[in-house]
Every structure is written in C-alpha cells, then in structure tokens.
C-alpha cells in the first residue's frame, strides 16, 4: 500500500510540472548578421525553428521567444506571434537575466532551453527529454553534457529553482551570456553537489554532424538539405541524407562545436 501511494504521488507530481519552452533569438551575429531571418524553403529560419519546436506534445506548454531590446527585435517578436509563441524582450548580453525575467511571470516549474539558430530542431527530442526529466527527478538535463546528437539538436531542461540560483549567484560573464554553465558546472556530472544532472545520450554518436547556423557555410548546408528533402523530416532522416551526400558534410566540418562559449570563457576576468 505504501509503495502504491508513493507511485501515485510521483505520478501526480509529474503531471503537475509546468514547463516553459524558451528559445533565445537575437538579430545580431558576429559571423552572420541577421541569420535567423535568412530565407530557406520560402520562409525564414526563425519561423522554421518555431514551427518544428512548437510541435512538442507537452500539454499547456508556455512557449516563449526571448529576444533583445534591439530595434530589429520587433521583427523577431512579430514572427514569434505568427507562430503562437509569446515574445519577451530583455538584456542583450546577460542572457541568463533574459531567461529568468522571461520565465518569471508564468509560475513555471521547469524551463526547456533551445536556441533559434537551430532551424531543423526536432520536437520529438523535446518529448523524450521531458519524459526523462520527469522520470529522473533531476535539477538539470541536457543532451550536450556528453554530446551524441548533431549540433543543432541541443536542448536543456532545468528547474526554475536552479535557474533562480544561477541568476542570483553566477558572476562570470560567460556564465551569464550562456545561461546554464553555473548549473552544469556545479552539478554531480562534474562531481559537484549543488545540482543533480542527467546526460541524455543517443545510442550512436552523431555529434560530428552540424545542423546549426552560425556561418555562411552552415546556411548553405541547411539550404541544400531543405531544397532536396524538405522541412518535415526527423533529425535521423537529415543525418541519413548527409551520410549519403558526404560532400555536404565537408561544407562546415571545419567549425568547432560550442565555439562561442569557448571564446566567451577566454574573455572572462578571473
């Protein structure tokens, strides 16, 4: 009887978790300015990203685009609203504050973080990650702790309490620009005790594939994929297509994963 009651309480807790899906978007980019507004398949990359991510099956999901106060962000907000996402405008460099302020009004229990430079992001990954987050009862879950998915399928889920703790305590500029380093650096994945973390991993390592857009080469790759097999395939189908067209892989294979974070860390005043 006691075990049945525990299972019931666990099920009720899982059902009661209120999730927010927040994707960050800004117009500026050092290597490819205005990249999320570039066209592919008769629409812009941001719209494609929102349409694919927005198919997540989680009920009552609060969907938010967290952008900046730049003038160009007006267009980003318009695209967000056209795709049934709320739009929040916050700080340009302190993205941690932007996420925290975007989430605050909605009484969320957990936040799913993705980024808008991933136009082919697969919502089925969100469905799997949400179920894992509920099951594992952790503070932080990500498929980037030990990357096995293509670059461009990155996701993180973290509790609102973990986000608030990071917001209050993170001091390094890189920690605030990239939102979650304070959380995962202080987790049991890195032998620390502040947060419980879980690494979501695929059975096969596909981390060498690059389906994000940071450069003109990335953009050319995405255009080639979309023009040949369309915008409604799974991430596995896109990987399969690249395997059959290895010349496309060479377009952007020279680029380093998480290059922006590494550069940000190098600039920290420690």
Domain ranges of the chain: 18-266
The more confident residue out of 265 and 131 is 131
Burial class (CB in 10 A: 0-12, 13-18, 19+), 35: buried
pLDDT at 4 over 50: no
Which pLDDT tens digit goes with each residue over 230-259?
999 999 999 999 999 999 999 998 887 877
What are the tens digits of pLDDT across the range 140-192? 999 999 999 999 999 999 999 999 999 999 999 999 999 999 999 999 999 99
Contacts of 197 (CB under 8 A, 6+ apart): 138, 139, 140, 141, 142, 145, 183, 184, 187, 188, 189
18-266: CATH topology is Spore Coat Polysaccharide Biosynthesis Protein SpsA; Chain A (3.90.550)
CA–CA gap between residue 96 and residue 47 (Å, rounded): 23
Tokens of 3: 């075990």
Burial class of residue 128, CB neighbours in 10 A (0-12, 13-18, 19+) = middle
The pTM assigned to this predicted structure is: 0.93
């Amino acid at each position: 009887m006691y075990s049945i009651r525990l299972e019931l309480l666990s099920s009720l807790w899982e059902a009661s978790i209120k999730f927010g899906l927040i994707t960050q978007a800004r117009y500026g980019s050092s290597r490819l300015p205005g990249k999320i507004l570039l066209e592919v398949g008769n629409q812009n990359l941001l719209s494609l990203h929102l349409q694919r991510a927005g198919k997540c099956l989680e009920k009552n999901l609060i969907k938010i685009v967290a952008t900046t106060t730049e003038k160009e962000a007006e267009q980003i907000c318009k695209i967000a609203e056209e795709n049934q996402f709320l739009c929040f405008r916050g700080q340009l460099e302190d993205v941690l504050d932007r996420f925290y302020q975007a989430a605050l009004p909605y009484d969320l229990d957990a936040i799913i973080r993705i980024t808008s430079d991933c136009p082919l992001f697969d919502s089925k990954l969100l469905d799997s990650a949400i179920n894992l987050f509920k099951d594992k009862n952790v503070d932080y879950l990500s498929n980037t702790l030990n990357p096995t998915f293509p670059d461009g399928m990155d996701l993180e889920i973290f509790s609102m309490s973990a986000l608030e703790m990071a917001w209050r305590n993170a001091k390094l500029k890189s920690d605030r620009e990239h939102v979650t380093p304070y959380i995962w650096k202080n987790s049991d994945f890195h032998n620390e005790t502040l947060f419980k973390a879980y690494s979501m991993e695929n059975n096969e390592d596909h981390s060498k594939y690059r389906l994000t857009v940071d450069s003109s080469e990335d953009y050319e790759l995405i255009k080639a994929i979309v023009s040949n097999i369309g915008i409604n395939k799974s991430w596995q189908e896109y990987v399969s297509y690249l395997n059959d067209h290895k010349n496309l892989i060479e377009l952007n294979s020279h680029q380093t994963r998480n290059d922006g974070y590494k550069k940000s860390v190098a600039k920290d005043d420690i």
